[in-house]
Amino acid sequence: MWDHEIKAMASAHAIIAAAVFMATVLPGAVVRGFSVCGTHLLWLYSVSGAVAAVSVAVFWLLGITRPTKKHTLGYKLSARFQQPHQLRSRLSRLFRSCVYFFLSCLFFHTVVVLYGAPLIESALETFSLAVLLTSLTTLRCLCVLGPNVQAWIRVFSRHGAMSVWDTCLQITVVCTVVGAWVGAFPIPLDWDRPWQVWPVSCSLGATIGFLTGLVAAPAWIHYHRKQLTYKCK
Amino acid sequence: MKALPVLSLLLCVCSVFFVGIYLFVGGFLLVRLEVNRTSTCGDVLQPGGGEPSAAAAADFCRARPRFRRAVLLVVDALRIDFARFDARNAAPRPHENKLPVLQEAAAARPAHGRLFPFRADPPTTTMQRIKGFTTGSLPTFVDVGNNFASSAILEDNLIHQFGQAGKRVVFMGDDTWESLFPKKFHRSLPFPSFNVKDLHTVDNGILQHLYTTMMGGDWDVLVAHFLGVDHCGHRFGPDHPAMADKLTQMDGVIRAVIDRLQNDTLLVVMGDHGMTDTGDHGGESHKETDAALFLYSPAPLFPGPPSQSEPDVVPQTDLVPSLALLLGVPIPYSSVGQVLLPLFPPHGQTDGAVGGLSQLEALWINAKQVNRFLETYSGMAKDIPPENLSQLKDEFSRLSSEYLATVGEGRPPSPELAASLQAYLTSVRDTCRATWARFNPLKMAAGLVILAFACLTCFILSELSLTLIREDGRGLKGPVVTALAAAVCVAAGQLLTQGYVEVAWCLAAAALSSELLFLWTAYRSRVTAVSKNGSKALKFASWLTPRQLLTPPLLVPLLRCASLLSDSYVIAEGRVVTFLLFSLALYIPFHLNWDGLLLPPSHDPLKSAGLLPSPHLSPSTVRKESGTLLGCVGLLIGSLYLSLSFHGCREEQGACQPSPFLSPLSRLQDSQLKNLHYVLSVFSLGVWTYLLRRCLRHYGNLNSSGGAVFVARWILPLLSVCLGLHWAVSATPEDSFRNLAELISLAQLSLPRAAFCLLGLGLFLIWLDPLTVFIKTRAAASARNSALPPPRYRASTGISPQAELHHLIPQIYQRMRRSLDDGGSSGELSGAGEVDSRPAVEAYGLGTVYSAPLLLFCGLLGIGLLLLHPEGMALSFLLLLLEMGALLHIHASSTTLKGLHGTYSGGFKVPWAPIVMWALAATQFFHATGHLPTFPSIQWGAAFVGFPDGHTGTILPASLVTLNTFASHILFAVACPLLLLWPLVCEVRGSRGGGGRAACGDEGEDAVMEMRLRENPQLFSSALLQLSTRYLFIHGAQVFASVSAAAILRRHLMVWKVFAPKLMFEASGFLVSSVSLLIGVTLVLRVDVAVGRWFKRIIPDVAR
Distance from CA of B569 to the nearest CA of A (A): 6
- CA angle, residues A122, A175, A123, in degrees to nearest 5: 10
Sheet holding B810-813, edge to edge: B774-778, B840-844, B810-813
Q: Percentage of chain B with pLDDT > 70?
A: 82
**Per-residue pLDDT tens over the stretch B914-970:** 999 999 999 999 999 989 998 778 887 888 888 877 777 778 888 999 999 999 999
The alpha helices in chain A, defined as continuous H runs, are 3-25, 27-30, 40-62, 69-80, 83-114, 123-133, 139-145, 149-155, 164-183, 200-223
Torsion angle in degrees (nearest 10) through CA of B156, B161, B163, B169:
-100
CA angle A113, A117, A121 (to 5 degrees): 105
Determine the Cα–Cα distance for residues B405 and B563; give it in Å rounded to an integer.
65
Q: How far apart are CA B444 and CA B450, in angstroms?
A: 10
Type and span of the H or E element at B776: strand B774-778
Cβ–Cβ below 8 Å for A189 and B599: no
Q: What is the pLDDT of residue A76?
A: 45
Does the structure show a pLDDT above 50 at B127?
Answer: yes
Distance (Å) of CA B910 to CA B290, B976, B1096: 56, 11, 30
Facing residue for B596 by CB, picked from A159, A181, A231:
A159
The whole-angstrom separation of Cα B581 and Cα B557 is 10
Q: Are B511 and B19 in contact (CB under 8 A)?
A: yes
User: For B105-119, what is the mean pLDDT?
Assistant: 87
Number of residues that this document lists for chain A: 233
3-state secondary structure of B172: strand
Residues present in chain B in total: 1104
Contacts of B729 (CB under 8 A, 6+ apart): B744, B747, B748, B751
Contacting residues for B727 by C-beta, under 8 A, at least 6 apart:
B665, B678, B681, B682, B871
Q: Does A102 touch chain B (CB under 8 A)?
A: no
Angle at B944 between CA B940 and CA B947, to 5 degrees: 165
Q: How far apart are CA B892 and CA A80, in angstroms?
A: 53
Q: How far is B796 from B811, CA to CA, in rounded Å?
A: 7
Per-residue confidence at B651, pLDDT binned at 50, 70, 90? confident
Which of A114, A154, A156, A192 to probe by mutation at the B interface, max B CB count within 10 Å?
A: A114
CB contact under 8 A, A115 and B582: yes
Predicted confidence (pLDDT) at residue B819 exceeds the cutoff of 50: no
Q: Does B1011 touch chain A (CB under 8 A)?
A: no
Nearest to B921 by CA among B884, B962, B970: B884
Question: A189 to chain B: nearest residue by CA?
Answer: B568
Instruction: Determine the distance in angstroms separating the CA of B918 from the nearest CA of chain A, rounded to an integer.
Output: 19
Query: What was the pLDDT predicted at B1030?
Result: 93
pLDDT tens digits along B52-80: 444 445 567 766 788 889 999 999 989 99
CA distance B987 to B1010: 10
Interface contact flag, A114 B641, Cβ < 8 Å: yes
Whole-angstrom Cα distance, residue B1026 to residue B1045? 28
A160 touches B at CB < 8 Å: yes
Give the whole-angstrom CA distance, residue B1104 versus residue B1102: 5
Measured between CB atoms, does A114 come within 8 Å of chain B? yes
Which residues in chain A have their CB less than 8 angstroms from residue B598's CB? Answer: 153
A190/B593 Cβ within 8 A: no
A188–B595 C-beta distance less than 8 A: no
Eight-class DSSP state of A195:
G
Please give the C-alpha separations between residue B945 and each of B813, B953, B965, in angstroms, as whole numbers.
47, 15, 14
DSSP for B576-633? Answer: HHHHHHHHHHHHHHHHHHHTT-SSPPP--HHHHHHS---TT--HHHHHHHHHHHHHHH
Nearest CA in chain A to B571: A188
- Report the pLDDT value the prediction gives residue B617, as an integer from 0 to 100: 60
Q: Is B640 on the interface with A (CB under 8 A)?
A: yes
> Pick from A158, A184, A190: which is nearest to B594 by CB?
A158
All residues of chain A having their beta carbon less than 8 Å from the beta carbon of residue B556 are none
Q: Do A190 and B568 touch (CB under 8 A)?
A: yes
Rounded Cα–Cα distance for residues A134 and A101 (Å): 7
Å from A69 to nearest chain B CA? Answer: 13
Q: In whole angstroms, how large is the CA radius of gyration of chain B? A: 36
| Residue B599 at interface with chain A, using a CB cutoff of 8 Å | yes
Q: Would you call B370 exposed, middle or buried from its count of C-beta atoms within 10 A (0-12, 13-18, 19+)?
A: buried
Q: Is A190's Cβ below 8 Å from some Cβ in B?
A: yes
Chain B touched by A157 (CB under 8 Å) = yes
Contacts of B594 in chain A (CB under 8 A): 156-158
What is the pLDDT at residue B817?
Answer: 32
* Digit-coded pLDDT (tens) for A172-228: 999 999 999 999 999 988 888 888 888 899 999 999 999 999 999 999 988 988 877
Which of A72-76, B7-11, B338-342, B1025-1029 shows the lowest per-residue confidence on average (mean pLDDT)?
A72-76
Most confident of B210-214, B509-513, B971-975: B971-975
pLDDT of amino acid B63: 67
Q: Are B812 and B777 in contact (CB under 8 A)?
A: no
Q: Could you tell me if A156 lies within 8 Å of chain B, comparing CB atoms?
A: yes
Tell me, what's the pLDDT at B850? 87
Are B382 and B439 spatial neighbours (Cβ–Cβ below 8 Å)?
Answer: no
Nearest to A157 among B567, B576, B594 (CB): B594
pLDDT tier at B22 (50, 70, 90 boundaries)? Answer: very high
Contact yes or no for B579 and A116 at CB 8 A: yes
Q: With contact defined as beta carbons under 8 Å apart, do B1091 and B1014 qualify?
A: yes
Report residue A113's pLDDT band, with 50, 70 and 90 as the boundaries. very high
* pLDDT for B781: 39
- Report pLDDT digits (tens) over A25-73: 888 888 888 888 888 899 999 999 999 999 989 888 887 655 444 444 4
Q: State the pLDDT confidence band at B903, using cuts at 50, 70 and 90.
A: low
Higher pLDDT, B312 or B819: B312
**What is the pTM (predicted TM-score) of this model?**
0.78
Opening angle at CA B1078, ends B1073 and B1084, nearest 5:
125
Q: What is the mean pLDDT of residues B483-489?
A: 91
B113-119 vs B314-315, strand pairing mode? parallel
Model confidence at B1057: pLDDT above 50: yes
B contact test, residue of A158, A190, A201 with most B CBs within 10 A: A190
Q: From CA B913, how far away is CA B48, in angstroms rounded?
A: 72
Q: What is the DSSP letter of B207?
A: H
Question: By CA distance, what is A115's nearest residue in B?
Answer: B579
Is B219 in contact with B213 (CB distance < 8 Å)? yes
Q: Does B606 contact chain A (CB < 8 Å)?
A: yes
CB-based contacts of B38: which residues, under 8 Å, 6+ apart? B156, B160, B161, B164, B332, B333
B121 has a pLDDT exceeding 50: yes
pLDDT, tens digit (0-9, with 9 covering 90-100), for B234-250: 778 888 888 999 999 99
- Distance, in Å, from the CA atom of B639 to the CA atom of B582, rounded to the nearest integer, reads 10
Is the Cβ–Cβ distance between B954 and B866 less than 8 Å? no
* DSSP line for A12-68: HHHHHHHHHHHHHHTHHHHSTT--TTTTHHHHHHHHHHHHHHHHHHHHHHHT-----
**DSSP H/E element including B174:** strand B169-174
Nearest chain B residue (CA) to A153: B593
**Contact A230/B at CB under 8 A:** no
* Residue B851, pLDDT score: 87
For residue B1008, the model assigns a pLDDT of: 66
- For residue B775, the cross-strand partners are B843
**Looking at beta carbons, which residues of chain A come within 8 Å of B641?**
114
Residue B1086 predicted with pLDDT over 50: yes
Residue B529 has pLDDT above 50, yes or no: yes
Point out the residue among A114, A189, A190 whose CB comes nearest to the CB of B637.
Answer: A114
Q: Is the CB of A115 less than 8 angstroms away from the CB of B579?
A: yes
ipTM of the complex: 0.91
Of B575, B578, B596, the CB nearest to A158: B596
Give the contacts of B5 (CB within 8 A, at least 6 positions apart): B468, B469, B472, B473, B476, B1021, B1025
The mean pLDDT value for B724-742 works out to: 79
Shortest CA gap A186–chain B (Å): 9
Q: How close B258 comes to chain A (CA, Å)?
A: 41
- The Cα of B914 is separated from the nearest Cα of chain A by a number of Å equal to 19
Specify burial of residue A72 (Cβ count, 10 A radius: 0-12, 13-18, 19+): exposed
Contact between chains at B582 and A190 (C-beta distance less than 8 A): no
Mean of pLDDT values over B782-786: 37
Question: Mind listing the pLDDT tens digit for each residue in B179-209?
Answer: 888 888 988 888 887 666 678 888 998 999 9
**Across chain B, what does the average pLDDT equal?**
80
B636 min Cα distance to partner chain A (Å): 11
Average pLDDT over residues B981-999: 56
- The per-residue pLDDT for B349 is 56
Distance from CA of B594 to the nearest CA of A (A): 4
Provide the pLDDT for residue B194. Answer: 65
Residue of A112, A115, A120, A192 to mutate, testing the B interface (most B Cβ within 10 Å of its Cβ): A115
Is B562's pLDDT higher than 50? yes
Most trustworthy range by pLDDT among B63-67, B461-465, B789-793, B1086-1090: B1086-1090
Is pLDDT of B610 > 50?
Answer: no
The CA–CA distances, whole Å, from B775 to B702, B706, B1088 equal 12, 11, 18
How far is residue A74's CA from residue B260's CA, in Å, rounded to a whole number?
99
Measured over all CA atoms, what is the biggest interatomic distance in chain B, rounded to whole angstroms?
A: 122
- Closest alpha carbon within chain A to B596: A157
Percent of chain B residues past pLDDT 90, beyond the cut: 27
Q: Can you tell me the mean pLDDT for B303-330? A: 81
Span B649-678, average pLDDT: 81
Coil, helix or strand at residue B1103: helix
Backbone phi, psi, residue B143, to 5°: -100, 105
Residue B866 has pLDDT above 60, yes or no: yes
State the DSSP string of B656-673.
----GGGS-GGG---HHH
Which of A119, A150, A157 is most worth mutating to test chain B (most B CB atoms within 10 A of its CB)?
A157
